[in-house]
Structures are given as C-alpha cells and as structure tokens.
Amino acid sequence: MYPITPEIKIFSGNANPKLAHEICSYLGTTLGDATVSSFPDGETLVKINENIRGRDIFIIQPTCPPTNQNLMELLIMVDAARRASAARITAVIPFFGYARQDRKDQPRVPITAKLVANLLVAAGVTRVLTMDLHAQQLQGFFDIPVDHLYAMPVIIEHIRSLGLKDLIVVSPDVGGVKMASAYSQALGFGLAIVVKRRTSPTEVEALHIIGDVKGKNVLLVDDITETAGTLTGAAKMLRENGAESVYAAVSHAVLTPIALERLKNSEIKKLITTNSVPDQTSSSDRIETLSIARLMGEGIQRVHDGESVSSLFEVGKVD
C-alpha cells in the first residue's frame, strides 16, 4: 500500500491543459512544472522540472485525438514520475480512448482497451480516475483501483436551469438505455428509445421509436459522439414523430468535421457536452460545453485524502 502524503502534485500533458488549469484553480494549487514536447523526429520528450520524491502525483491527460500521441505522453510522464520516486501515481483520464475496443466481436481482432490498461499499469500507474467509460466493465481490465465518475450531475444541473417543460429523455440506441434511464429518473420525466441500425462506421439508420414523443421536448443522452450520425439520425426521426424540440447531452464530444457539418444541418437545437476533451464550442453555435473541473477536482481531493468518491455520483452533490 502506498501512503498518502500531505502534498499533492498535479501535472498535465498536452491533451487538455485548459482543463488541468481549471482543476488546479478549483483545488487552490498550481500545475506542476514539467516539459512535455517532442524531439525533431517526433518522439515524445518529458522532463519533470521539480522534486516529486514521496509526493502524491496526479497526471491529467485524456486520451482523445490524437489518441496515440496523447497516450504515449501519458505513459512517458508516468514513467518519469515513477523513476523520480513518486509515492503514488494516479492517471486522471477524463476521456478514456480505445474504450470501445473492449471485446472480440470479430475473428482475429485485439482487445485494445485491455492492452491500454496493461500499458498503464506497466508504466507505473497505481490508480486511475476516469469519467463515463464507454463500457463500465473496463474497470475490471485493471488490477489497480479505478475510480469511475459520472458527468450526469454536472449535465443535469444545467438541464434543470433551462426550465424545459414536457420533457422526455430518449436513448438514441438500445445500448444506451441504462444511461438514459438514470437521467429520466434524476429529472423525473419519461423515457423513450430510438432503435437504430448501423450501415457503416460513419452511417446510422434510425428505424423506429419505442415511446410517445409527440409534443414533447426531447433530451437525447449518450456517452460519446464522434460523427454525430446516431444523434442526428435519431433527432430527425423524433421530429418526424412530433417532438417539439430536440436537445442532446453527451459526456464526451470527440467531434470530427463531418459531425460539425451534420450538427449544423440537423434537428438538434443544442448539443450539451463537457470539456473532458478540448472545448469545441467555438466550432458551432449549437454546442454548449460544461466544465467538469469541480467534479474531477473533488475526485482528486478525495482520492488524495483517502475519502469515498461515491457521493459524487449523486445528482446535486458536486459542491
């Protein structure tokens, strides 16, 4: 067991430094001094420029695009901290890349999420703090503690502030029913489901709706969107079936150019997301980004103090 020391040291790679600074501001500290850059040949260069011997180290680095670059930065930073005699190293990964490659759904394919877990542990990570994993069973891929937070309290607080009436929560596919159900219970509104069929890696066809959305304001909820095909296809069908307006709430918006174009031409009035990946609000007036700095900062503080983080799962408990 690694002792929890009195002093936190927080470092960040280049994936989302703005979020790292916001987290430090919430905790009343400053970001640790580290050089994270590249050699001329593209290899990652890391140097920690201060003493961290015996410290409790937290490295904030979502593995969002460029995924491989950000993952390598994280692994090398962890190795540098371990070799500098850090007491404990927690990888703070607000967005966990490769999470969708969590099983063998075809012959001769890897389980890359398990490989990433093995790499993190081999590098020297002693604990992981993450948010809204695409598949919660990924926690079992690690033989070290994993603290799994949820963006729902942050997003629901914002949804309530909008004062929407006659709201119904909709899952854009059958796989997201559990998440949508949690939102509907927290908000106290009904639940519906859009049944879809994926026709290609970037194309999705919405087939039919289970539930009545006529005259309702709809909140589509999902954990991640990249091409926005699922969301925009579902929004189109919902409007065709009489929905008054369509909002979408997504924990991780890893938006590609095709996603931005689809959102621009879609029936989605507003896409509400978090800054688990770099903020893309400026890319479209339909995107609204909420900060998870308080949530992640509170999680870091509680991990450091040896306290429970489970109360952060409750709506309205992010103080």
Question: Catalytic residues, which ones?
Answer: 196
In the chain, the amino acid numbered 17 is: P
Question: Strand 245-253's sheet: what is its strand order?
Answer: 203-210, 190-200, 167-171, 217-225, 245-253, 268-274, 287-290
Q: Based on the number of CB atoms within 10 Å of its own CB, is 76 exposed (0-12), middle (13-18) or buried (19 or more)?
A: middle
d(CA 208, CA 72): 42
Q: Which of 153, 148, 143 lies closest to 99 in space, CA to CA?
A: 148
Looking up tokens 């020297």, which residue turns up? 124
Torsion region of 212: left, alpha or beta (phi above 0 gives left; psi -120 to 50 gives alpha) = beta
d(CA 265, CA 284): 11
Please count the CA atoms within 13 angstroms of the CA of 85 that sit on its side-chain side.
5
- Rg of the chain in Å (alpha carbons): 20
CB 233 within 8 A of CB 206: yes
3-state secondary structure of 231: helix
CB atoms under 10 Å from CB of 225, counted, come to 25
Instruction: Write out 90-159 in H/E/C secondary structure.
Output: EEEECCCCCCCCCCCCCCCCCCHHHHHHHHHHHHCCCEEEEECCCCHHHHHHCCCCEEEECCHHHHHHHH
Please give the backbone phi and psi of residue 2, each rounded to the nearest 5 degrees, phi first.
-85, 130
